[in-house]
Amino acid sequence: MSFYRYSIGKIESTKQFSFNLAYRLEIDEEPVDFNILSDYHVPIPVCNRNSAYMLPGDGTIEDFARRIGTNFTQLALNVVLRQLRIDVS
């Protein structure tokens, strides 16, 4: 038998979520755990009014979308993800 275990916590002081993810595999009824993420912190997304999040242009999603127009590509998505401090490498 095998399964994933996870937990998600909220850290109010730093406005972040904390993630833990592990995979458990039972071999001959002996559990073996593989940690995938351990205490991985991610900033709380845009809805965080205290964040310093700023899109290119005047900082609004509307202006950003207007500037990109129909050319919303992976590059534009990467800009947004980098602003959210999400690794896109």
Residue 47 has what pLDDT? 59
The answer to whether 36 and 21 are in contact (CB under 8 A) is yes
Q: Is residue 76 very low, low, confident or very high in pLDDT (cuts 50, 70, 90)?
A: low
pTM: 0.45
Better-scored residue on pLDDT, 3 or 10 = 10
33 has a pLDDT exceeding 80: yes
Q: Is residue 46 very low, low, confident or very high in pLDDT (cuts 50, 70, 90)?
A: low
Residue 82 has what pLDDT? 74
23 token code pair: 């995979």
Nearest to 13 by CA among 43, 34, 37: 43
